[in-house]
Amino acid sequence: MTIGELLRECRVSQNKKQKEFAGEILSPSYYSKVEKGKHKITAKDLISLLIYNQISVKQFFGRLDENYEENQFLEEKLNSLLAQAYFQNDKSKLEEIRQQIKDSCLSSEAKTDQLLYADIFLALMNNSLRDNKKLQDKVREKLFSMDEFDEAKIMLYGNSMRFYSLSDNKIISQSLIRKYRETNNIIIQKYLVSLCVNMLIILIENNDLKDIKLYTNRVTAKHLL
């Protein structure tokens, strides 16, 4: 039984609609795709969802692959390490992490995703992403389909904004601002400020000034400290 199938079984047994079951933890549209197996759910969000609906975490995981929780945390850890290595401009560390991903016990799907992130970060560091149309398309396809972003994906998007249309950039950036406007995570705050600065440049270049206030409101002295 997959996570989505088991979540649906738990939800139906409680006679709840998807929106009611997901609460404020996941958007209804994202949760719907989790049930259908089209989107992943982080270990943190899954546990929050179970607790919110008063479902035994131990019993839930007992009905799944015993390695699931361990693999979810490994994915999140790898994402964090990739972002950190890129932020520190450490190419050798990125290549080392990429090898760790190849040698890991992750599922083939998860491993493919993690290797893609590693390849994108390496291309950004080598200034070769602009010349790699295939990789650009993968960046757009992967990031635009995500409802949930972590630190690595926010950083990745901020460095890939030039490969999106103006309308796509508005949709993604405004979604991120709404989602993380109250966050206390300093790293995410800094990434959002950088993202907003990039958007201001893009808007000015396109002579599109009607949304400027939204981004200037984020670039405040508080966030630049």
- Distance CA(150)–CA(188), nearest Å, equals 8
Per-residue model confidence as pLDDT tens digits over 171-212: 888 888 888 877 777 777 888 888 888 889 999 988 888 878
The encoded tokens of residue 1 equal 């039984």
Which whole number is the average pLDDT over 64-71?
Answer: 66
Which whole number is the average pLDDT over 26-32?
Answer: 90
- Distance CA(83)–CA(165), nearest Å, equals 24
Pair 13, 48: CB distance under 8 Å: no
Pair 199, 215: CB distance under 8 Å: yes
Instruction: Please state, for a pLDDT cut of 70, what percent of the chain lies above it.
Output: 89
Q: What is the mean pLDDT of the chain?
A: 82
Q: How confident is the model at residue 99 (pLDDT cuts 50, 70, 90)?
A: very high
The encoded tokens of residue 193 equal 């400020």
pTM flag (> 0.85): no
Per-residue confidence (pLDDT) for residue 1, from 0 to 100 = 67
**Residue 17 φ then ψ, to 5°:** -75, 160
